Amino acid sequence: MGFRRRLNPLSNLLIFASVVLFANRFSFAYGKSNETQALAITPINHDLYHTSHERDNLLEIEKISGTNKGYKAEITVITYSGNRKESDDRAKLRILLTFGQHARELITTELALRLLSILSEEEFLPNMDRSSLNRTLDRLVIKIVPMENLNGRKLVEDGELCERRNGIIINDFDCKIDTGYHKNAKCLKVKFLSGRGVDLNRNWSVDWGKKEKVSFNQFLIMIHTKENPGTAPFSEPETQIMRKLSVSFEPHIWVNVHSGMEALFMPYDHKNTTPAGIPSQIMKSMLEELNHFHLKDHCLIGSGGGSVGYLAHGTATDYMYDVARVPMAFTFEIYGDPKASSRDCFKMFNPIDITSFNGVLNDWSAAFFQMFSIGVQQMDGLQTKAIASSFDNWISIDDYLNGYLMHRKSRYGKKMEVLDLGLQEIRTYFRLFLLSSVLLLFMFCSRISKSTRPIVSAMAL
């Protein structure tokens, strides 16, 4: 599955160098004023796209790999836990953040690195009291995936600037060529490229593979996004890894970070509605606060399906909310240049000058840490209600966040994983087995009783 180890000062640079190694070979337009200059290929400016370090007692790294038909993917997961005590982690608010799911959205991974740098106290947020922040962080466990789609990112590094999907399989073949009189005289090595090209944000099981009747303008948008849901839900190792991570970690808050516009989305992506009742109110209230105080009211707020112009099926956020039962599931779109040419994908999805670059990272870092604070406040409020309601029947924070907070009839809902359904059937069969065993035992005892009566009578005589 992978390995886990504590970071030490010597390994810090190596770890983050591996996370951002792609940046050393990629080219960016930097601070240019016109279209031609913006598309110029220049070496990376390390003041913009930087390497980072962490403090070793707060962060852990785990590398998880998976394969499918010769295709291999690896995802790095970095865990932050303030005031770390293993026994206390389950009592903390758990947050799962993923970045770089779409390969061309480089700025999202840079935001992940900025958050890690702040968490490790290498950098500091302006106008924020660090001691107050630390008190909030002590109540959290945060798992960050800086780059979910590493293979797709390599394609972008090689010049496919509009690629958002995952990578390709490269198979080498040795072939012998028959030259007539001189058989096997020459051997050529041939590279065979087998495409994956799957959109990792269409490869989840909620409404997977569904196609919509769309207008011509919507069709053009979908052609530009190059949607491909894969051969089946979770056909890709990347989505398999993320699903396993969500099952083992059981986050209370999930955020999938993208770029292309400025928006704070809540479920749903596959339909033009938001969840009904209390869940929708809680999530919308949090997003409105983040938008107003940290993002200058620039962001759209609502369901992804009702805001982007077309419905998206098989998305990670809809799965996290409907199946994994994450109480608060979001998609954040952190940057977009609507004036950029549709052929200039880098400029469309990523800031190209230092002012915009730092502005995006500063504003969204502040928004994320404010979200952490709001989450802790909500947790405290729920725990207070639990204590006030009953001193005899303690209710865990998990039960509140997944049940009471969401006002759901069932934590598992209508859509359950195959494993859950299997376990339910096993329980049913076990009950039937017990019932049939009791009946058989009763019949057996009755038969023995009838067969022994004549013998007893004869002995009496």
pLDDT at 83: 75
Report the range out of 207-211, 316-320, 344-348, 390-394 with the highest average pLDDT: 316-320
Residue 308 binned pLDDT confidence (cut-offs 50, 70, 90): confident
* Range in 55-69, 84-98, 149-163, 173-187 the model is least confident about: 173-187
Rounded to an integer, the average pLDDT of 207-215 is: 74
Query: Considering the domain boundaries, does residue 458 fall inside one?
Result: no
pLDDT score of 460 more than 70: no
3-state SS assignment for residue 207 = coil
Q: What's the domain range around 46?
A: 2-163+201-389
Write the pLDDT tens digit of every residue in 72-84: 999 999 999 977 6
pLDDT above 60 for 356: yes
Q: Is 425 a catalytic residue?
A: no
Q: Is 233 a member of any domain?
A: yes
Residue 401 in contact with residue 376, Cβ under 8 Å? no
- Torsion on CA atoms 142, 319, 5, 124, rounded to nearest 10: -30
Determine the average pLDDT of the residues in 145-167: 92
Stretch 404-432: mean pLDDT, rounded?
50
Using DSSP, how many helices (H) and how many strands (E) does the chain show?
13, 11
pLDDT confidence of residue 451: 53
pLDDT for 307 equals 86
Residue 457 within any structural domain of the chain: no
Res 227: pLDDT: 77
Rounded Cα distance between 329 and 310, Å, is 20
pLDDT of residue 417: 46
Return d(Cα 175, Cα 185) in angstroms, integer: 11
Does residue 421 belong to any structural domain of this protein? no
Q: Does residue 457 register a pLDDT over 70? A: no
pLDDT surpasses 70 at 428: no
Where does residue 246 rank: exposed (0-12), middle (13-18), buried (19+ CB within 10 A)?
A: buried
Predicted confidence band at 176 (pLDDT cuts at 50, 70, 90)?
Answer: very low
Averaged pLDDT, 440-453:
61
Counting Cα atoms < 13 Å in the Cβ hemisphere of 97 gives 26
Q: Which residue has the higher pLDDT, 187 or 55?
A: 187
Q: Is residue 422 part of a domain?
A: no
Say what the pLDDT of residue 210 is.
Answer: 86
Q: What percentage of the chain carries pLDDT values higher than 90?
A: 48
Whether the pLDDT of residue 110 is over 60: the answer is yes
The enclosing domain of 154 has a CATH number of 3.40.630.10
Tens of pLDDT, residue by residue over 219-267, are 444 444 567 999 999 999 999 999 999 999 999 999 999 999 999 999 9
Residue 86 is predicted with a pLDDT of: 53
Which value, to the nearest 10 degrees, does the dihedral of the CA atoms of residues 315, 319, 320, 322 take? 140
Neighbours of 390 (CB within 10 A): 9
Give the model's pLDDT for residue 48. Answer: 62
The active-site residue, picked from 105, 148, 238, 333, is 333
User: What is the number of structural domains in the chain?
Assistant: 1
Q: Burial letters for 213-223: b for 16+ Cβ neighbours within 10 Å, e otherwise?
A: eeeeeeeeebe
177 is a domain residue: no
In a domain, 455, yes or no: no
Residues 22, 24: Cα–Cα separation, whole Å: 6
Q: Is residue 33 part of a domain?
A: yes
Kindly report whether the global pTM for this prediction surpasses the value 0.75.
Answer: no
The per-residue pLDDT for 41 is 34
DSSP state of 391: S
